[in-house]
Homo-oligomer: A and B are copies of this chain.
Amino acid sequence: MRVGFVGLGLMGAPMAMHLIRAGLEVAVYNRSPGKAAPHGEAGAAVCASPAELAGRSQVVLICVSDTEAVESVLFSPEGVAGALEPGGLIVDHSTISPTATREFAARLAGSGISFVDAPVTGGTKGALEGKLVAMAGGKSDDLERARPVLEHYAPTVVHVGPVGQGQLIKLCNNLVGSLHVLAMAEGFHFAGVLGLDLKLTHQVIASGAAGSFIWENWGGRLVEGDLSPGFKIALHHKDIRLVLDECRRVGLELPGLQLVAGMYEKALALGLGELGDQALVRVLEQRSGK
């Protein structure tokens, strides 16, 4: 199968590499072309535009940063939509607006192109290890067509409903994750101020009823003084805004979400956007002066 992969960021780069290593015929495209070099060396065709990539592909996979970027990859003059053969399939791994997702799918259906939203969870760790979980919205037939490709980096692909539902469940996932980040930040700030040994605190709490993926992994980086991103503050903030959009649409107020949204905004204002989620503890430190 001829496969195109658009977006070679922290998540997309290792995902695309799994496909190349599995022996698929892979074309890649990234807005800043330097990032495609390792994939080119590994045997992928490095394309100059999404349209060129689409012309070589039966299935196009997308993993970019936001709704606007997906729209541009699909519908700009050099986009995928104008170049993919009718009968082609697009799978979007980005986390974007569920409403925009439904609009994109309807527009593509007019050209005979199928669309599946399949955002992933598992972080860069999951992407590197090829152990992501994908939550897919779309038609069963389309999903089954995509599954043999996706399984090279997402052994668990769960069909959660029609187009857009993958995004909605992913937003729920990132809402829950943002509050786990808050939990991690307050836990470590408390431990630090009260004089507990941070490594021991990390280890003991990870193994019990207050354990979480985020405590274990992002917290593990934090106690090593490593603020590098498994998931960037700026991207998580973008997802939190999408959750707030959905809440506004249905008239729902979630107090924890609102608190954490304010803290992510503060983190951006402090210039922490390119750091990992674990840097949220700096907002608490700044706030408490401790």
Contact = CB atoms under 8 A, between A and B. Distances in A.
Given A183-B179, A214-B209, A200 B253 contact: no
A22 interface: no
A160 B204 CA distance: 9
Contact of A158 (B161, B204, B247): B204
A190 B172 contact: yes
Contacts of A230: 209
Interface string A141-182: 000000000000000101011000100110111111101101
How many monomers of this protein are in the complex? 2
Contacts of A8: none
B121 A209 contact: yes
B288 A207 contact: no
Interface stretch (A83-91, A107-115, A191-199): A191-199
Interface stretch (A30-38, A44-52, A73-81, A254-262): A254-262
B203 A158 contact: yes
Contacts of A182: 179, 256
A257 B186 contact: yes
A212 interface: yes
B186 A201 contact: no
A212 to B, nearest CB: 4
A282 interface: no
A119 to B, nearest CB: 10
Interface size class of A (residues with CB under 8 A): 35 or more
Contact of A176 (B158, B186, B193, B197): B186
Contacts of A209: 121-123, 126, 173, 177, 213-214, 217, 230-231
Contacts of A246: 190, 194
Contact of A191 (B172, B212, B213): B172
Contacts of A197: 160-161
A215 B213 CA distance: 11
A105 B231 CA distance: 44
Contacts of A190: 171-172, 175, 243, 246-247, 252, 254
A211 B213 contact: yes
Contacts of A205: 121, 169, 172-173, 176
A189 interface: yes
9 contacts: A121-B208, A156-B207, A160-B197, A175-B186, A176-B205, A176-B210, A180-B180, A211-B212, A211-B213
